[in-house]
Structure 1
Amino acid sequence: MAFPLRTDLPPMEAASVDAIPLGDAWQYEPKWDGFRCLAFRDDGEVELRSKAGQPLARYFPEIVQALAALRPKRFVLDGELVVPSGEGLDFDALLQRIHPAASRVKKLAAETPARLVVFDLLADERGASLVERPLRERRAALERFAQKNFPTGADARVRLSPATTELKLARKWFGAVGASLDGLIAKRRDASYAAGERTAMVKIKPLRTADCVVGGFRYAEKKKEVGSLLLGLYDADGKLHHVGFCSGLKAAEKPALTRKLEALVGGPGFTGRAPGGPSRWSTKRSSEWQPLEPKLVVEVSFDHVTAGRFRHGTSLLRWRPDKAPRQCTLEQLHQKTSRALAWLR
């Protein structure tokens, strides 16, 4: 077995920037909310590798099967593994696919099949490497490859990711971040494939804000003072659900804040989903939290939502004494998918 490129080839990475770069030198693409994946094929052999170089083929047999069914016998693709669901992409369902039991993987592959959204061609159907070619040539080759070989239809497992040089469309994709997208990617059209580097591609991820109830807090590891705030939002039935946390509090403010929070200890805390339940966010200290009376409201910034909660920690922007806790609802986290991306489902 000899794949066209070495399977430990690191994928090209993106540097974070605050604004969309402008000019004809850039190509724009949606930043999909999934797992980065390099796909290698040599005749009947297919290999999938993660961003960190770990093998993924056993976890996504439906993708292996789809790639093996393509007419070309040799190629290397760069893309993103995603799981469509409802109006967007289900990152939690994607995480569930990384399971040690083959029977579980097989069941999930049938129930929540993945897609490979392809955005680069690193070796063509002859097995010839394209990594030294500029992006404008690789993209043209990828579009020809996809038109000739990618299946069509709602159940197609391999899809071509859209790309554009039009700023208006790029901004439209950027406005759809939240349900299917994790941000926007901009790539230099004259650059070769910068494996393992951040010199030819940037990513732009917008920050959103939400007003949340402080339903509890955790003490710091070594000091008897607040370490993080536990955030909650109300559902339509009036239940307060834990949706994430806020750390990075200013050291000088912690003593006074600790006293303020301790005066509210003993309240109902979270009446819906609470910290400490079985989830991928649980830690060894997940049950060590103090429930509070739901009287304090904070405005926080966040980058992404998964399964009705903040995927990462949030940043405290300000306290909101002017906001009633009951005004802090889960509706703030809902965002619809752009119709331009409906083809993925």
Structure 2
Amino acid sequence: MTKRPRKPSRPLLTDDAPVQSRRIRRRDPRQPELAFDPMPDRIEPCLAKLVSQPPAGDDWSYEIKWDGYRLAIHFETNRIRILTRGGHDWTHRFPSIVAAAQEMLPLSAILDGEAVVLDNQGRSDFGMLQNSLGGRGGKKPAGAAILYAFDLLYLDGHDLTGVECSSRRKLLEGMLTDDEGAIRFSHEIEADPETFLKAACQHGLEGIIAKHRDRPYRSGRTGDWLKIKCVESDAFVVVGYEPSTTDRGAVGSLVLAALRGSDYVHVGSVGTGFTRAVARELKQTLDLLKTRTPAIRLPGKQLVLTSPTLIAEIEYRGWTNDGSLRHASYKGLRDRQDNADIYRLA
């Protein structure tokens, strides 16, 4: 008796069906090599732990620390999704990255990287990125932004988070060969880590990142990735301002606070790093946030205290003995959707 012909199997990826976000069926134990891992809706990012010195040894790789917004790029069957570190959809805010990603379809993948805007010397500049997006809460698309991709978490039906870092990066490097496009590979720098850090600082970069070559991709701050900064830079809450003495429509300085437990603690002020136009914009925004129940109380100066809503990225050179930031300089406002880590005091 002649057997009826079998129906052709459906390809894993088609132009008319999105990649599933859950397991469709159990894997066949008779064919374990035919693995198919549904693409997850989101993967909690691996975060770098701050250390004072780079680790040494062949187990570690080193790359530039980019100063921008951490993003995950989801290449799905018929669309591109861009998610922030906190899981918010910012696809509409990075049209140049979306356009570059669409040229790579029907690839099915998740890339981990940092969106940046480069200055005329090729350095990432957080302030320029924020301005291109229209400032905090802005709705403008960042047409000048590019993505430096540094990890590959999923590829064509395979979950790569359990694969060692060195293998993930080799796969990623093979995918990204255009060093001039809107999606670029964040290259490993083969150099003595101390020499690399010194050179990064001399060229005005934020610092370097060290990654353990043999570790899987683990969400959270596990110590598999380390960051070593040239200059300290952290996120602090703006809890008020001191008016400018030379321009009535501008702020003279911002009053900053960090968290200790669930309480806000004053850590000083910042009066440099912003232009006159930015100082005026900050005053307009903060005047809408005035409050009679401030997060902190400071006697003395003529301060306008506001609700702890704005989060500012501040560059500084350490701490004074009384717990204030030394040589603080304003870099820009962080969007809460970026899930910025507010600095926590011990």
* TM exceeding 0.5: yes
Partner of 1:133 in structure 2?
A: 163
Cα separation, partners in 2 of 1:316 and 1:32, compared to 1, 3 Å: same
* 8 A contact 2:208–2:228 mirrored in 1: yes
Match of 1:167 among 174, 180, 192: 192
2:201 maps to a residue whose letter is: G
SS of equivalent to 1:2: coil
- The residue identity in structure 1 corresponding to 2:281 is P
Aligned mates of 1:167, 1:55 — CA distance in 2: 38
Instruction: Determine whether 1:118 maps to 2:149.
Output: yes
Q: What is the percentage of aligned positions where both structures have the same residue?
A: 26
Amino acid at match of 1:193: Y
**CA contact under 8 A between 1:185 and 1:202: conserved in structure 2?**
yes
- Distance of 1:312 and 1:43 partners within structure 2: 41
* Aligned counterparts of 1:281 and 1:187: Cα–Cα separation in 2: 42
Seen in structure 2, the aligned counterparts of structure 1 residues 310 and 38 have a Cα distance that, compared at 3 Å, is closer
SS in structure 1 opposite 2:40?
coil
Rounded Cα–Cα distance in structure 2 between residues aligned with 1:73 and 1:162: 22
- Backbone CA RMSD of aligned residues: 4.3
Which ranges in structure 2 are unaligned for 5 or more consecutive residues?
A: 1-17, 21-37, 233-238, 245-249, 258-274, 291-299, 304-311, 322-326, 332-346
- Segments of 5+ residues of structure 1 without an aligned counterpart are 209-219, 222-226, 231-240, 249-271, 292-308, 319-327, 334-345
Aligned residue number for residue 2 of structure 1: 19
Please say if 1:91 is aligned against 2:122. no
Tell me how far 1:245 sits from its aligned partner.
Answer: 6.0
The amino acid that maps onto 2:286 is T
- Which of these residues, 180, 183, 189, is aligned with residue 213 of structure 2? 189
- The residue aligned with 1:311 is 314
Deviation at 1:315, TM superposition (A): 4.6
- Corresponding position of 1:277: 280
Q: Return the offset for 1:119.
A: 0.6
**When the two structures are aligned, how many residues end up with a matched partner?**
246
Q: CA deviation at 1:23?
A: 1.1
Cα distance, 1:84–1:144 mapped onto 2, change above 3 Å: same
C-alpha separation between the residues in 2 aligned to 1:244 and 1:176? Answer: 29
**CA-CA distance at 1:282 after TM superposition:** 6.0
Query: Given that residues 32 and 182 in structure 1 are in contact (C-alpha distance below 8 angstroms), is that contact kept between their aligned partners in structure 2?
Result: yes
The match for 1:151 is 178
* TM-score, scaled to structure 1: 0.58
Structure 2 Cα separation of the partners of residues 196 and 77 of structure 1: 17
1:213-252 correspondence runs (5 A):
none
